[in-house]
Amino acid sequence: MKRKGEMFAGVTVAIITPFRNDESVDFDQLKRLVDYHVEQGTHCLAPVGTTGESPTLDHDEHKQVIETVVTHAAGRLKVMAGTGSNSTREAIDLTLFAKKVGADGALVVGPYYNKPTQEGYRRHYLALADACDLPIIIYNIPGRTASAINAETMIHLAEHPQIVAVKEATGSMDISSMLLESSPLTVLSGDDSLTLPIMSMGGSGIVSVVGNIIPMDLLTLVEHVRCGRLAEAQVAHHKLFRLCKSLLTLSTNPIPIKAAMKILGRDTGVLRLPMTPLDSAEESKLRRILADFGLC
């Protein structure tokens, strides 16, 4: 089956938002992060997602981060802008803005806190898709939103021409399998540790957290799968597995990944409250994990 969102196949990095000590956005550092991913060969960036601490940004900052990433990328890589909200009107506004400034697509998380019915999810995404001709990637992450978008709902939404892909972060292989069997949606793993399993079923890539520090390792894994090199892909998967799991279980994302970047000399500043840094025991554990991987 031909997939609708293959322009987003490969490695998308859910980029962090750098903050200065006063918690203002450090736009100069943000531009340097874009340049880093261009140099590394990352296919696409997703600013202002979960990893970008989107709930702590006001709407003006949210738009400024999207515009900065799109403008500075200047077509050197794709940009899948995070434009989700628990308000459909706000999500439409952010998505229209992303289109205006030149984003390639919109990563739209399911409305959080509201806990919509499946009919509510269906109407929310259709309202977005009808309002703006920007490719939409559904972001299904019930661990953050408090409810899941059912596979049947996403299969129905796939009938809309602007809804092209799903970032699947439920951890359910069944949902990915159902989407790949019964819809033309491109399926992207929303968990770094599940990149190989999802791609082995026909998924097309990953929207990654760990890619903030090791994008080339992920690019290697994805390329092995694309070329049918299963044994090599398995080696790459097992190399990445412990680091990927640790960065998502040591503490709430993006606390560990921002700590890892600081340890590796790529300090991206503070976290915004209510996010707080790792304690000393957690940081020591993270240092050991990074050392075991060969990063420090």
**Which residues are catalytic, by number?**
139, 167
In which element (H, E) is residue 136 found? Answer: strand 136-140
Q: How far is CA 29 from the centre of its chain?
A: 19
3-state secondary structure of 109: strand
Dist. CA 123–CA 117, nearest whole Å: 10
Compute the Cα dihedral for 207, 137, 83, 156 and give only its sign: negative
Pairing of strands 163-168, 136-140: parallel
The torsion angles phi and psi of 44, rounded to 5 degrees, stand at -155, 150
Angle at Cα 178 formed by Cα 175 and Cα 179, nearest 5°? 85
Peptide bond into 277 cis (omega under 30): no
User: Which distant-in-sequence residues (6+ apart) come within 8 Å of 225 by Cβ?
Assistant: 196, 199, 200, 233
Structure tokens at 147: 């409810």
Dist. CA 204–CA 198, nearest whole Å: 8
Say which amino acid occupies 274. Answer: P
Place of tokens 């990927």: 244
* Residue 8 and residue 80 in contact, taking contact as beta carbons nearer than 8 Å: yes
* Residue 82 and residue 109 in contact, taking contact as beta carbons nearer than 8 Å: yes
